[in-house]
Structure 1
């Protein structure tokens, strides 16, 4: 028996877990995120705004790019929908925690972490027994009184 079998289906999280280890993980991850959110809408009837669809793909792309670029070995992407939010988790093998670069208007590139932090409702980085986990949450439906990241104004 699973621990949440007695919960109604609508209250259970909707999950997707993928492992990437290849030459094109970024494209695969973006496509997987889009398929996952499309299924969330079609199968489960949970609204996903166009903003959320694009923002999730952007965040997945940036986080998987960083894992692929800076960590040796595979990376894992978990997507979980619960209570109107998608939680994006990317695990990789490098224990070094990422940090946003200092502001520099002349810098080209290395803005991925800043972008993800700006568009997410919440952001967390933590070391794991092996490697690290980067987690970002994005609200799925646009609502009145909030900014594009789903934070209340």
Structure 2
């Protein structure tokens, strides 16, 4: 687990990269991914002074959990998780070795489970999927601070 340094950095946050990443292989990865997200966002708030709402803290952990779970279930081998602060949002990126892109299923009130992708798409500002030379990369963006009315700011699906 790699967290941003706690040293004084004279550059403004917008001019430097604040990120954390980890590679996972095994069932413990889901909890470790949530732990990384929680520690990263606490660091973003405490060290870098960016506001992180309770909603954002919970949503980022949920998104990490769902995306890492899907990588574990449907792709052989390791998965890579990267968290990066960009313009008041945290980008959650998961790479895995399976080239097939996931598809959100149609609503079905009788279906038990398999709603993770629908949930991720509903709580994120943006959601992108890309095939890579090996596997795929999924990026979901969560706003760090809620707007004054409590709504999710500017949602878009790319």
Per the normalisation by structure 1, the TM-score is 0.90
Deviations along 1:56-105, one digit per CA (max 9) or x if unpaired, are 00000000000000000000000000211000000000000000011111
The question of whether the paired residues in 1 share the 8 Å contact of 2:53 and 2:145 is answered with yes
Range that drifts further, 124-133 or 10-19? 10-19
| Structure-2 residue corresponding to 1:33 | 37
Pick aligned residue for 1:151 from 149, 154, 157: 154
* Structure 1 Cα separation of the partners of residues 111 and 65 of structure 2: 20
Unpaired segments ≥5 residues, structure 1: 1-6
- TM (normalized to structure 2)? 0.88
From 89, 93, 114, the counterpart of 1:89: 93
- 2:11 alignment partner in structure 1: 8
Distance 1:139 1:74 in 2: 27
Q: 1:44 to 1:85 in 2, by over 3 A?
A: same
Deviations, residues 6-37 of structure 1 (Å, cap 9, x unaligned): x9332123111110012211001001100000
Query: Is 1:72 aligned with 2:76?
Result: yes
Partner of residue 116 from structure 2, selected from 102, 109, 112: 112
Aligned pair count reads 145
Q: How big is the alpha-carbon RMSD for the aligned residues of Structure 1 and Structure 2?
A: 1.4
